[in-house]
Structure 1
C-alpha cells in the first residue's frame, strides 16, 4: 500500500461520508449506523451471487466484507467479517463506510493500517464510486480489494471513468472467480458443512464479466508495472520480496498510445503488451489504427523499448501511407542500439516523418498522468534524468552517423495535420 495517496478530495462532497455530519441517505431519522448481518442463506447466495450475463430480478445487492489489521511482515490479523444488504436507498457500499467509520475507525489510532476486502453481488454503481474513492482518499491507511460477481451496467456513460478513478485511488477491482465464490460460501453462508457446488457456466460467465472489466481498465497501468518496465536504468534493479531474497524481473515491451483529434473530440488512450509467440505491440497498434480508419489525428506513443527493425519498417510504411497523421514516438530505452539493422530501423522512422525521441522527465510525467494515475504525482526514480541524457546522447550519435541530423531537425519544424502543442 502506498504510504500516502493524493486523491481528488477537492472535487468530492463529502470527501468521506463517514466523516460528514450530514448523511442524506441515512436509513432512519435517528441516523443510526447500518448493522451488518452475520451470514447469508444458501438460497440467497446462489441466487444473488450467480454471475449470469443478464441477471434478471436481482434488484437487491449484498456486500460480504473482511477487515484485517496489517501487522508488519506477519500475517494480517482478522478483526471483522459480515454481510451488508442494501437498506432502502442506501447502497451497501455506503452502509459499510458509515459502519466502518463509526464502529472501527473512531476507536482506533489513525496510524493503524487495515486491509479491507469486499465480495459484492454487483460492482459499485456510478453513484457509489465517488464516495468510495473519496473514502480511500481521506484514509490513506486503508487498502481496499473489491471482487464483484457481476458488473453493474458497464455501458452506462462515464461508468468506465468512475471505475478507473477508483482504481487510480488505490483500490483493487476484480471479478469473482471460482476461488472467491468458494471463499464466500465457506465464510459468509450458512452452508451446514456442505462444500460449494459451482453452478452451470460459472467459469464461462467469469470470462465474460472479466473481459468487460479488462476493457474498462485497459488504459491503466499499475504503479509497479510502470516503475519497473519504464525504468530507464541501464541495468535491471533486483526486487526484494523477502529479507535476503532478491528477484530479477524481465523487461517487457509496453506501448502506451494517445490519439488526439483536431476537432476537440475526447482523446483515446490505451496500452498494449508484447507477449511471447504473439505479434509485437507495434503490430497490434497498427492493426488497431488501420481498423479505425483515422485521418487528421495526432498520435503520441510511449515505448519501453524502441521498435525492432521489422516493427520500425511497418510503422514507417504506415506513416508514408497516411501523411495527414502525426505520429510521435518516445522511448524509455533503445533496443540493441549498437546493431546496424536496429539503427537502420530507426532511420526508416525518421525518413518517413515520424518524430522519434527519448523519454525525459516531462514525458515520464505525462505518461504517468495519462496511463497510471492523474490524481497522484509522478515521483522520479533515482538517476532518471541522468539516464535519459545518456540515452539521448546515444540516439543523437546514431542520427549523426547516418547523416540524418539535418533531416530530423527539418521534421521538427514541419507541421502536418493538427498543429503540435
Structure 2
C-alpha cells in the first residue's frame, strides 16, 4: 500500500465529494435495541425501512497490528446520506489531523447497501486517498439496478459482503445499547443471509465476467489481499491435516444419489485437498480445507493460503468434492491470470449445479484462464487416497465409480461443446498426473 502524499489531500474533502459547503456532522455513539432489530433485520422485503444506518469502526495500522481510533453510528442528515456524512466527518476529524503517512482500515456495518450516487462518491474518495482500506457489510442490498457503480466501488479497493451472524453479533456488541444482553438472532437469519448473498453475487456478476482488463483481476486482489484480519484465522480453523478413511468414502463418493449410512443420511460437504509441487526437488506441500457454513468457501481459503506463500513456477493439483461455484471459479481464474507461470489443475468428484448457465460460465472462465479442469477418475481417486488419507489399506473403489466418472466427464464435455471451448481444452480429458517438477 502506497503512503498518501500530503499535497494530494489538500482540499479533497469537498472537491472529491462535489460539494462546495457542508456542515460538520457528528456521529451518535449507539442505537437502541428496537432500532437495530427493526432496521438491520435482513428481510427479503423490508417495507417501511427508509433510513440507512451506518455503524463504523476506524482503525489505524501500526506495524502488523490495528489500533482502534473511532467508532459510532451515522444516519441520513438532510439531503446527505449516511455514507457522505461519514466521509465529511472522516476527512475533517481524521485525515486533517493525522499524519498523511498513516494507514487506516475502515469497517462499515450498514442496514442498506449504498445507493448508486453514494457508491460513486465513495469510490472517488477511495481513489483519492490510497492510504485507506474499506470493508462494507450490508444487511440488505438494493435491487440490482446499478452493478457498474458497485463494481467501481470494488475496483477502488472496497470489500463488500452480506452480514451474517458474526457481523450482526459484532454490530450488536459495539453499536447497540444492549444493556449487557447477548444478541438473539431473529428467525431464519442465516437463510435470509444466503438470499442477500445471492443478490450480491447477482449484482456483481458483470464485474466477474468483463474479463481481466476490467474488474475480474481487481476483484480477486481486493477479496484476497485486502481481506479482514479474521481471514488468516479462518484458514487455520478450516485446515485439516489428513482425512479419515470413512470421511473420504462418504464425501468423495461420486454417486449421483446420497447413500445412507445405516438409517442416517449425511450431508456432502465441500472439501478441497491440494498438493503443491515446488521446483528443486523440495518436498510437496499438502493440505485439506473444508468450507464452513456461513464462512468463506474452501477455494477462497486455498487462494488466501497460496497468496501468502508468494510462490511462482509451481504446479498445484486440487481435488474437490464439488466443482467450484461461479464466484470461486471467477476468483480462481483471476488468480491464474495473475500468475501465468503457475500450473493449476482441478479435479472434481462431482459437478455442482452443472445445468445452470451461471455455473457453466464459471467453468468456462477456468478453462479460458488456462486452468485444467476435469472429473476425478480411478487414478485421481487413488492418488487422493494415497496423499490425503491416513490409509491402513489400499484404496478399494466403490460400486460404479468409473461409470459415474464417465457420466460426469460426458456432462463436462457437453458443456465445453455448448460454449465452443472443445478445441481449447480437448486435451484435458487425457490429462495424466505428471512427474514432479525438476
TM normalised by structure 2 equals: 0.55
Instruction: Say whether the 8 Å CA contact 1:38–1:83 is kept in structure 2.
Output: yes
1-structure distance, mates of 2:62, 2:224: 28
Q: Which residue of 2 aligns with 1:168?
A: 155
Q: 1:301 deviation in Å?
A: 2.3
Instruction: Say whether the 8 Å CA contact 2:55–2:74 is kept in structure 1.
Output: yes
Instruction: Say whether the 8 Å CA contact 1:17–1:23 is kept in structure 2.
Output: no
Instruction: Indicate which of 167, 179, 185 corresponds to 1:180.
Output: 167
Q: 1:241 deviation in Å?
A: 5.7
TM normalised by structure 1 equals: 0.57
Q: 1:327 deviation in Å?
A: 3.3
Mapping 1:255-334, distance limit 5 Å: 279-280=350-351, 287-288=355-356, 301-305=368-372, 307=374, 326-327=420-421
Instruction: Say whether the 8 Å CA contact 1:129–1:166 is kept in structure 2.
Output: yes
Q: 1:63 deviation in Å?
A: 0.3
Rg (Cα) greater in structure: 1
- What secondary structure does 1:40 align onto? coil
Distance 1:104-1:300 versus aligned 2 partners, 3 A rule:
same
Distance 1:249-1:65 versus aligned 2 partners, 3 A rule:
farther
1-structure distance, mates of 2:99, 2:317: 40
| CA shift digits 1:145-181 (9 cap, x unpaired) | 1011110222x2xx22222222222111111111111
Instruction: Say whether the 8 Å CA contact 2:3–2:101 is kept in structure 1.
Output: no
Q: 1:81 deviation in Å?
A: 0.5
2-structure distance, mates of 1:272, 1:133: 25
Instruction: Indicate which of 104, 115, 122 corresponds to 2:112.
Output: 122
2-structure distance, mates of 1:20, 1:182: 35
Q: Which residue of 2 aligns with 1:208?
A: 195
> What's the RMSD between the two structures over aligned residues?
4.8
Q: 1:279 deviation in Å?
A: 3.1
Instruction: Say whether the 8 Å CA contact 1:252–1:304 is kept in structure 2.
Output: no
- What secondary structure does 2:121 align onto? helix
| CA shift digits 1:199-232 (9 cap, x unpaired) | 22222211111121123335245228899xxxx9
Unmatched segments (≥5 aa) in structure 2:
209-215, 226-275, 286-304, 310-314, 334-344, 361-365, 378-405
Q: Which residue of 2 aligns with 1:87?
A: 77
Q: Which residue of 2 aligns with 1:133?
A: 123
Between the two proteins, the alignment pairs up a number of residues equal to 297
